[in-house]
Amino acid sequence: MGTTASQLGKDLLSEYQELTFLTKQEILLAHKRFTELLNKDEKDHTARVSMNTILTLPELKSNPFKERICHVFSTSENKDGGLTFEDFLDLLSAFSDSATLEIKSHYAFRIFDFDDDGTLDYGDLEKLVNCLTGETQDTRLTSEEMRQLISNILEESDIDKDGTVNLSEFQHVISRSPDFVSSFKIVL
């Protein structure tokens, strides 16, 4: 642990502790896992790992929202979903045990907002349902079922009846679910 700690630097480590929900041990573990993904030559903390490499992590591998997660947490200019170490920490922080419901639901909303327009509209919900049920032809719902389902969702959660679910409506639904916090979790 001593060597990894020195690699990360004491100031940086304490700054990360201040800015994320992660503990020291978790940050060090994250750093270790992250440097394993990096190429040998680029060891500085602004180095970016491509999305495909990140997705080989077993914690993300079988998640249907894995690409969306990378895109949401990526600060990359050319929107390829690549993550720096700090982005990676952001990801782990949002999915950690101690992150608040507020943070979790905010990021869940952004993950589900496939077209990044700030509301969940019909297309977003359709993609979301397809991700949940499986994308292949025989697992996805028929278009008739999909239409009925989405109209049900909108009926329930679209409080202001504008045809989309916005963040506060989303959080309203989430806040009533007791097990969201425990299921919206990725721990290394």
By CB under 8 A, the residues from 60 to 89 that bind another protein are 61-65, 71-75, 77, 79, 86-87, 89
19 counts as binding another protein under rule CB under 8 A: yes
3-state helix, strand, coil in the chain (%, to 5): 60, 5, 40
Nearer to another protein, 40 or 78 (CB): 78
Q: How many residues does the chain have?
A: 188
152 counts as binding another protein under rule CB under 8 A: yes
The residue from 2, 18, 36, 41 that contacts another protein (CB under 8 A) is 18
Nearer to another protein, 10 or 40 (CB): 10
48 counts as binding another protein under rule CB under 8 A: no
The residue from 30, 34, 54, 90 that contacts another protein (CB under 8 A) is 90
Q: Which long-range contacts (CB under 8 A, 24 or more apart) does 119-124 make?
A: 119/164, 119/165, 119/166, 119/167, 120/164, 120/165, 120/166, 120/170, 121/163, 121/164, 122/150, 122/163, 122/164
Residues 6+ apart with CB under 8 A from 117: none
The residue from 11, 48, 51, 52 that contacts another protein (CB under 8 A) is 11
The residue from 37, 55, 101, 141 that contacts another protein (CB under 8 A) is 141
Beta carbon of residue 41, minimum distance to another protein (angstroms, whole number): 24
Which of 20, 26, 28, 24 is CA-nearest to residue 3? Answer: 28
The residue from 5, 24, 29, 55 that contacts another protein (CB under 8 A) is 24
Beta carbon of residue 20, minimum distance to another protein (angstroms, whole number): 5
Which of 80, 185, 69, 88 is CA-nearest to residue 131? Answer: 69
